[in-house]
Amino acid sequence: MERVVLEGFHAVKHALRFGGRVDPVVVLDRAAAVALARSHAPDLVGFFADRAREVDAAGFTSVVGRAHPTGVGGLAERPAAHWSAAPRTAPLVLLDNPRNLGNFGAVVRVAAGLGARGVVSTGDVDPWHPTVLRGSAGLHFAVPVGRVAGPAELTGELIAFDADGEDLRHARVPDDAVLAFGSERHGLSAAVRASADRVVSLPMRPGVSSYNLTTSVAMALYHWELFRRAS
Q: How far apart are CA 217 and CA 12, in angstroms?
A: 25
- Return left, alpha or beta for 138; rule: phi > 0 is left, psi -120 to 50 is alpha, else beta: left
Kindly report, residue by residue over 37-95, the tens digit of the pLDDT. 999 999 999 999 999 999 999 999 999 999 999 999 999 999 988 776 567 899 999 99
Mean pLDDT of 22-35: 98
Our CA dihedral for 111, 177, 126, 108, rounded to 10 degrees, sits at 0
* 125 has a pLDDT exceeding 70: yes
pLDDT at 185 over 80: no
The residue among 149, 78, 155 whose CA lies nearest residue 117 is: 155
pLDDT above 70 for 177: yes
- What does pLDDT average to over the chain? 94
* Contact (CB, 8 A) for 138 and 41: no
Q: Residue 211 in contact with residue 219, Cβ under 8 Å?
A: yes
**pTM of the predicted structure, to 2 decimals:** 0.94
Average pLDDT over residues 143-163: 94
pLDDT at res. 231: 61
Asked whether the predicted pLDDT for residue 198 surpasses 90, the reply is yes
pLDDT for 84: 64
- Average pLDDT (27-32) is 98
pLDDT of residue 65: 96
Q: Which pLDDT value is given to residue 184?
A: 75
pLDDT for 208: 87
- Residue 186's pLDDT is 78
Share of the chain above pLDDT 70, in %: 97
More confident residue, 87 or 109: 109
pLDDT of residue 230: 64
Of all residues in the chain, the percent with pLDDT exceeding 90 is 86
The residues, ordered by sequence, that sit 6+ positions from 152 with a Cβ below 8 Å of its Cβ are: 195
Contact status, residue 100 vs residue 94, Cβ threshold 8 Å: no
Residue range 161-171: mean pLDDT, rounded: 91
Average pLDDT, integer, range 201-216: 91
What's the confidence (pLDDT) of residue 207? 87
What contacts 224, CB < 8 A, 6 or more positions away? 90, 91, 173, 175, 177, 179
β-strand pairing of 53-54 with 72-77: unpaired
